[in-house]
Chain A
Amino acid sequence: MIAMLLSELTSGALVAASDGGPLWLLALGPAGGGALYFGLWRYYRNTHQSHSFERETRIEAKPIIAHDTKVDEIKGTKKSGIDGDNGTDHRKRVQRLDS
């Protein structure tokens, strides 16, 4: 029954799209269903949870020492942000240098 309903919905949507309607709107149904599945699954399983030791540990830090140098200019890029932005992903390790 659900398959029949989806079939009717899809054929109707294709007619609408062929008349000039925005085709991307048709993705809203599958996207909404998928988001609900994923959201509920995470709410039940909590696989993304862990101890926030960065915030929940007593840390005392001295003033940060910074050294910033302009090295290049970018003109006319379509990208709204830097490639590989990991400024807020504190747990993603990068190349480790020996101490």
Chain B
Amino acid sequence: MTTLPPPGEGARPATNNAPDEPTANQTVNPTVNPTIDTRNERLDDGINRCPKCGSTEIQLRPSVGMLVCLFCRHEWAEARLDETIVNGDLAALRGTTIGSGASDIDTGADSLITMKCAGCGAEVVVNTDEQMGARCHWCRHVLTVNEQVANGAVPDAVLPFAITHDAATVKIREFAGKRRLFADRAFVRGFKPENVFGVYMPYMVVDANASADVAGFGEVKTRQYTRGTNNNKETYYDADVYSVQRHIDFTADDLTIEASSERAQMNAAANTNNIINTILPFDTANAVKWNASYLTGFTSEKRDQDVAETTPELEDQLLSIARSQLASSVDRYDRGVRWERERVEVHGTRWVAMYLPVWLYSHYQERGGKTMVHYIAVNGRTGEVMGSVPVSTPRLLAAALTVGTVLEGIVIAMLGASR
């Protein structure tokens, strides 16, 4: 076979479901690229006041996921993004819909924003590459960047931290504590989990409506028998070979893809970015509209990837999902299946840029002229923890040699006894 045939004629359903379900190779209209306006129109750049007392001393209270005024203790939250945009049936999704905070980054846009302090009239400059707010150096009011800017620093939504610093510290201590014996001694000496810091990482959260076709070969065992005598017996098999083709229509809700080019590079030999990837998923349905006050006390990493740059990763994930979904339909091939060709057709996508909360503990390791930053990461919502702890090679080698030697000794004793 050189091409995938269109599904339909001659096809039979692999499940007990209705065989006449539509195969839905729908036409995509590439010209339709609507934008969802996700701006928080209630807020302007500059002073972000408590709705009750007017103070600008506002920050997130992670234990309840609410903004809290540090003067009057009033608590409130921004509206959930899901409540403010139309979601609809994902199977009806067509074309590419993009949140206004996920629009293409203008690389020429100035990262420096000058805000006029509403308290005293002074002009305060904020470098949005590094922070989303600043304190007026004259009157001490807190000024924040709330309007979406062309450099991609303000996403459509933010998912506030729900895990506190103390809880994250406990989880990191527990994780590293289980990996102490063979850890690099420099890591053990410098281990201070209270140095964990909260960072909002940039992601694209994508809904997709897609179809996939996969083709290959499968084998069914028809006979198993042995030839030879005594010690020269060998097992042989007979099998039927089938050409196997599958088509699947599916939707994926809230696929989460790294929107920072540096974090998207997952090479275990050079970095530990896979650690941060492993603590996904987040409860993205609870993300709220942007308010820079959610970032007070935390750091954030700016998005540098657009929709076009993350689309290949989306398609790759959709193909993996399709292959996973149809695995149960090839159970009858008891000698296995070899997929040889695959195709994904994306009918519609909806993209939202989001800041997601991660507690990060990092250890910088330099060995043999090579450097690596080891992370222990805690999901700021679910508390899921994963990490990379650098190993002490001499300790690991000593353990391996000891176990190997003991095993070898037992084998030799057994062989000696059987003489």
Residues of A within 8 A of B (CB): 2, 5-6, 9, 12-13, 16-17, 19, 21-22, 25-26, 28-30, 32-34, 36-37, 40-41, 43-51, 53-88, 90-91, 93-99
Complexed CA–CA distance, A84 and B418 (Å): 41
Interface of A is mostly: mixed
Task: Please tell me if the beta carbons of B239 and A66 are within 8 angstroms of each other in the complex.
Answer: no
Residues of the B chain whose Cβ atoms lie less than 8 Å from the Cβ of A78: 234-237
Give the contacting residue for A40; candidates B19, B90, B275, B396; CB below 8 A. B396
Give the contacting residue for B241; candidates A2, A34, A63, A73; CB below 8 A. A73
Complexed CA–CA distance, A34 and B404 (Å): 8
Shortest Cβ distance from B375 into chain A, in angstroms?
10
If the complex has contacts A29-B404, A72-B241, are A16 and B415 also in contact, measured as CB distance less than 8 A? yes
Chain A residue nearest in CB terms to B325: A61
Complexed CA–CA distance, A60 and B14 (Å): 16
Task: Please tell me if the beta carbons of A46 and B343 are within 8 angstroms of each other in the complex.
Answer: no
Complexed CA–CA distance, A59 and B208 (Å): 10
0/1 string, B382-413, CB within 8 A of A gives 1: 00001111110000110111011111110110
If the complex has contacts A29-B405, A93-B316, are A60 and B251 also in contact, measured as CB distance less than 8 A? yes
Task: Please tell me if the beta carbons of B12 and A58 are within 8 angstroms of each other in the complex.
Answer: no
Shortest Cβ distance from A38 into chain B, in angstroms?
9
Query: Is B378 part of the binding interface, using a Cβ–Cβ cutoff of 8 Å?
Result: no
Chain B residue nearest in CB terms to A22: B415
Query: Is B61 part of the binding interface, using a Cβ–Cβ cutoff of 8 Å?
Result: no
Shortest Cβ distance from A68 into chain B, in angstroms?
5
Residues of B within 8 A of A (CB): 3-5, 7-8, 10-15, 17-19, 21-24, 90-91, 179, 182-183, 213, 216-219, 222, 234-256, 266, 268, 272, 274-275, 277-281, 316-317, 319-321, 323-327, 329-330, 333, 335-346, 386-391, 396-397, 399-401, 403-409, 411-412, 414-416, 418-419
Complexed CA–CA distance, A60 and B248 (Å): 11
Complexed CA–CA distance, A62 and B401 (Å): 54
Interface pairs (27), CB distance under 8 Å: A5-B405, A13-B412, A16-B415, A29-B405, A33-B403, A36-B404, A45-B272, A45-B391, A46-B387, A47-B268, A51-B277, A53-B255, A59-B253, A59-B325, A61-B248, A64-B329, A65-B21, A65-B246, A69-B242, A70-B242, A71-B241, A73-B239, A76-B236, A82-B218, A96-B319, A98-B343, A99-B345
Give the contacting residue for B323; candidates A13, A80, A90; CB below 8 A. A90
Shortest Cβ distance from B42 into chain A, in angstroms?
30
Chain A residue nearest in CB terms to B89: A60
Residues of the B chain whose Cβ atoms lie less than 8 Å from the Cβ of A84: 338
Shortest Cβ distance from B28 into chain A, in angstroms?
9
Task: Please tell me if the beta carbons of A40 and B338 are within 8 angstroms of each other in the complex.
Answer: no
Task: Please tell me if the beta carbons of B183 and A44 are within 8 angstroms of each other in the complex.
Answer: yes
If the complex has contacts A33-B407, A59-B252, are A65 and B8 also in contact, measured as CB distance less than 8 A? yes
A sample of 14 more A-B contacts (CB under 8 A), given A29-B404, A97-B341, A99-B344, is A6-B405, A9-B412, A25-B411, A25-B415, A33-B407, A36-B399, A49-B386, A53-B321, A59-B325, A61-B251, A63-B14, A95-B340, A96-B342, A97-B3
